[in-house]
């Protein structure tokens, strides 16, 4: 196995991860909720009375992140995202992620971060499954097809 | 009333913090995500550190949460209790993982990238919302009636 040293960002990724953990900590300890993006969004489709304000407040804050990030970070720390998939592939992927995360009741945040943090067997199985499927998909797309 | 305001403010700030964490960590760069999932190419281990960093903090938070019945503001603590492993959990996660590997986006980073003005992220989010809504409709009009029928029969 070769490591991609050119793109490896240990400190930024670790620090970013700690921030994600802090956000999850605040959400459970102050708001009493699991910070899971697919659940927060999925609960708005369709919106239910009395169960939407908190979801919208969270999403609004999240949507403000890029503007704040660009304002705070020096330009050399901001990298341009590499989105290589074609439009068609993006649509197929989006559909799979939408259906799959609702079917499994969680995604990278709810199962991956919160679930593993609270040692949930369900989340361990979910995370193992989506990571496994991710590894396999990239192996197929990059090295077989 | 005051508590409600406090809750909305916390949600807003937590959303912002979460979005900033995603951007700083590299999760909003699909190239980086796919670089992590590409075990057989040149591997970028960064995302393992994202997960590690997040869980390192999360473990303590959830250990505290599990011992409490109310939040710091006195509200309901909604820690999931289900331990049931089923087909839905595994099949759904496999579908999600396949989509994640194809585009390099999971729900949070895709929405942050959309807010950052990336057209392909917008396309991804629209497709994702269609998928989520489609699932919701299937649940209500196909799955629920079938379950009801099974119970009645």
The end-to-end CA distance of chain B, in Å, is 48
The pTM of this model reads 0.95
Q: How far is A36 from chain B (nearest CA, A)?
A: 9
* pLDDT tens-digit series, residues B79-138: 888 889 999 999 999 999 999 999 999 999 999 999 999 999 999 999 999 999 999 999
**Which residue, A92, A116, A113, is CA-closest to B95?**
A92
Residue B102 burial (C-beta neighbours within 10 Å; 0-12, 13-18, 19+) = buried
Q: How far is B35 from chain A (nearest CA, A)?
A: 8
pLDDT of residue B144: 85
Q: Kindly report the average pLDDT of chain B as a whole number.
A: 94
| Residue A4 within a domain | no
Contact A16 B50 (CB under 8 A): yes
Q: Which of A17, A31, A84 sits opposite B52 (nearest CB)?
A: A17
Q: Which of B57, B58, B106 sits opposite A108 (nearest CB)?
A: B106
Residue B42 β-bridge partners: A2
The interface predicted TM-score (ipTM) is 0.96
For residue A78, what is the DSSP state? P
| Residue A3 within a domain | no
| Residue A107 within a domain | yes
CB B85 within 8 A of CB A35: no
| Residue A53 within a domain | yes
Tally the domains of chain A: 1
* Rounded distance between C-alpha atoms, residue A68 and residue B130, angstroms: 29
pLDDT of residue B2: 64
- pLDDT grade, residue B26 (50/70/90)? very high
**Which residue, A133, A106, B98, B104, is CA-closest to A114?**
A106
Q: Output b/e per residue, A76-88; b: 16+ Cβ within 10 A.
A: eeeeebebebeee
| Residue A2 within a domain | no
Residues of B with CB below 8 A from A129's CB? 89-90, 93-94, 97
Domain that holds residue A101: 10-144
CB A98 within 8 A of CB B63: no
């Amino acid at each position: 196995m070769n490591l991609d040293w050119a793109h490896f960002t240990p400190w930024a990724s670790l620090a970013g991860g700690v921030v994600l953990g802090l956000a999850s900590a605040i959400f459970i300890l102050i708001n009493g909720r699991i910070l899971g993006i697919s659940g927060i969004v999925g609960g708005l489709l369709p919106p239910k009375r009395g169960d939407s304000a908190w979801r919208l407040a969270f999403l609004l804050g999240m949507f403000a992140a890029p503007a704040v990030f660009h304002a705070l970070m020096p330009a050399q720390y901001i990298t341009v995202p590499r989105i290589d998939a074609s439009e068609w592939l993006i649509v197929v992927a989006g559909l799979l992620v939408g259906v799959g995360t609702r079917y499994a009741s969680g995604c990278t945040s709810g199962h991956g971060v919160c679930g593993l943090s609270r040692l949930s067997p369900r989340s361990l199985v979910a995370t193992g499954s989506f990571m496994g499927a991710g590894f396999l998909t990239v192996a197929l797309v990059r090295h077989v097809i | 009333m005051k508590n409600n305001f406090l809750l909305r403010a916390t949600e807003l700030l937590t959303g912002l913090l979460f979005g900033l964490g995603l951007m700083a960590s590299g999760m909003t760069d699909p190239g980086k995500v796919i670089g992590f999932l590409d075990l057989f190419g040149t591997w970028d281990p960064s995302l393992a550190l994202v997960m590690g960093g997040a869980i390192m903090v999360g473990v303590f938070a959830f250990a505290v949460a599990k011992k409490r019945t109310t939040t710091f503001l006195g509200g309901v603590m909604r820690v999931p209790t289900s331990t049931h492993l089923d087909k839905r959990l595994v099949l759904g996660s496999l579908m999600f993982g396949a989509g994640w590997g194809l585009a390099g986006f999971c729900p949070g980073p895709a929405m942050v990238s959309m807010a950052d003005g990336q057209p392909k992220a917008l396309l991804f989010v629209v497709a994702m919302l269609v998928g989520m809504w489609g699932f919701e409709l299937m649940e209500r009009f196909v799955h629920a009636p079938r379950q009801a029928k099974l119970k009645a029969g």
